[in-house]
Amino acid sequence: MSATIVLDASAFLRAAVEERDVARLWIAAVDAAEVSGTVPEHFYVEVANALRVYVRAGRMRAAVAAELVTRCLDLPLAARPARDLVPADLVRSLQFELTVYDAAYVVLAEAAEAVLVTADRELARAYDRVELVS
């Protein structure tokens, strides 16, 4: 594989729910092993929580949300345990005024020397190798 990306939950949601083309291309590249994808382990919880919000707001059926969770889990992503990232997450969260959850994506991207793929503009400002897919 030629490149590594850190995939933010917002980018997965742009691809899966909003069907944004650039986000879908990144997901397809990960799925085809054209790039190596990595995520902090809370990525899956963030995705599931956002899908819950869509369902509760009446914007999505629960069955569709369940299918998207399965799709998310089926992606060939390497998940990093939170305990490996938390000390640096706290430092970065304070430095960039991010949540600790979001800072984990920056910390992981820095450690992997990876491109951070996100739809979150605030998160994108905290790292210099970013693909903004909003």
Mean pLDDT of all residues in 14-18? 94
Q: How far apart are CA 39 and CA 35, in angstroms?
A: 13
Residue indicated by tokens 């030629």: 2
Q: How far apart are CA 19 and CA 24, in angstroms?
A: 7
| Per-residue model confidence (pLDDT) at position 20 | 87
Taking 80 as the threshold, does the pLDDT of residue 108 lie above it?
yes
Strands 77-80 and 4-7: unpaired
Taking 70 as the threshold, does the pLDDT of residue 40 lie above it?
yes
Q: Does the CA dihedral 52-88-37-127 come out positive or negative?
A: positive
pTM: 0.93
Average per-residue pLDDT in the chain?
95
Taking 90 as the threshold, does the pLDDT of residue 1 lie above it?
no
Range of the domain at 12: 4-132
| Per-residue model confidence (pLDDT) at position 132 | 95
Sequential DSSP letters for 5-73: EEE-HHHHHHHHTS--HHHHHHHHHHHTTSSEEEEETTHHHHHHHHHHHHHHTTSS-HHHHHHHHHHHH
Taking 60 as the threshold, does the pLDDT of residue 60 lie above it?
yes
Q: What is the CATH number of the domain that holds 21?
A: 3.40.50.1010
Taking 90 as the threshold, does the pLDDT of residue 2 lie above it?
no
Q: CA 62 → CA 66, 110, 116, distances in Å? A: 6, 36, 29
Tally of domains in the chain: 1
- Identify the band that residue 134 occupies on the pLDDT scale cut at 50, 70 and 90: confident
Closest CA to 4 of 40, 41, 29: 29
